[in-house]
């Protein structure tokens, strides 16, 4: 099995590795893959992503095509993050399409393209993780917001505007008036 020796690091039992041994190498042959797997760490961006260990729901199909295997379907999972304006927590659901072609080793595609252009089967195995990371990360907003019109934080006191009374301001008060208003308060 010379193929396996080239990539001894791919573990067929890993949740993000697909086994194609049972998929006939005949164009049109199909296999559905339905799995729920724990999310790997660092799946996302700085402000939003899939929490490590959260359930990634993969609904995919593997299809034999002439030069390899086309994997397509959808990835769903919970998302957690922070609003880029008010910094309050956000929870959302990720639902992204996935489509990636993996060339057979020694196919024409394999011999004529770079490994970072087109995915490769490694023996009978497909490593989903790199393309899955791309699909997830590209679907995320670099600057997520809790809602479109989130007013953000008060620039003076740093409290989310949503949690402050309407008309909240920090008017510059003349120190003499400030002293006076303090006296008034203590009189009451």
Pick between residue 114 and residue 171 the one whose CB is nearest to Zn ion. 171
DSSP state letters, 51-79? PTTPEEEEEEEEEEETTEEEEEEEEEEEE
Instruction: Kindly tell me which of 167 and 175 has the beta carbon lying closer to Zn ion.
Output: 167
136: closest CA among 75, 89, 182?
75
Q: Single out the residue of 71, 81, 85, 131 in contact with Zn ion (rule: CB under 5 A).
A: 85
CB of 153 to Zn ion, least distance (A): 8
- Alpha helices by DSSP H, listed for the chain, are 2-6, 108-112, 129-139, 175-187
Smallest separation (angstroms) from Zn ion to the CB of 154: 3
**CB of residue 49 to Zn ion, shortest distance in Å:** 17
Binders of Zn ion in range 120-159 (CB under 5 A): 146, 150, 154, 156-157
- 17 and 10 in contact (C-beta within 8 Å)? yes
CB of 88 to Zn ion, least distance (A): 5
H-helix or E-strand containing 89?
A: strand 89-103
* Choices 38-46, 59-67, 82-90, 94-102; region in contact with Zn ion by CB under 5 A: 82-90
- Phi, then psi, of 166 in degrees rounded to 5: -60, 140
Tally of CB atoms within 10 A around 119 = 21
CA angle 87, 89, 94 (to 5 degrees): 120
Which of 43, 56, 58, 86 touches Zn ion (CB under 5 A)?
A: 86
Instruction: Give yes or no for residue 71 binding Zn ion (CB under 5 A).
Output: no
Name which of 171 and 188 has its Cβ closer to Zn ion.
171
Q: Which of 58, 69, 71, 83 lies at the binding interface for Zn ion (CB under 5 A)?
A: 83
Binding site for Zn ion (CB under 5 A): 83, 85-86, 146, 150, 154, 156-157
């Amino acid at each position: 099995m010379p193929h396996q020796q080239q990539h001894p690091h791919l573990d067929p039992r890993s949740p993000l590795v697909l086994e194609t041994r049972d998929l006939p190498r005949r164009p049109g042959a199909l296999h559905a893959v339905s799995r729920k797997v724990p999310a790997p760490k660092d799946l996302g961006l700085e402000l939003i992503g899939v929490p490590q260990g959260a359930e990634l729901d993969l609904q995919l199909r593997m299809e034999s095509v002439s030069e390899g295997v086309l994997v397509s379907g959808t990835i769903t999972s919970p998302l957690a993050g922070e609003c880029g304006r008010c910094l309050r927590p956000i929870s959302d659901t990720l639902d992204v399409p996935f489509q990636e072609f993996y060339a057979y080793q020694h196919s024409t595609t394999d011999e004529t393209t770079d490994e970072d252009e087109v995915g490769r089967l490694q023996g009978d195995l497909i490593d989903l993780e790199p393309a899955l990371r791309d699909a997830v990360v590209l679907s995320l907003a670099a600057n997520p917001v809790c809602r479109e019109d989130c007013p953000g934080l008060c620039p003076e006191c740093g409290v989310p505007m949503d949690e402050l009374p309407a008309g909240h301001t920090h008017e510059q008060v003349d120190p003499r008036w400030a002293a006076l208003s303090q006296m008034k308060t203590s009189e009451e």
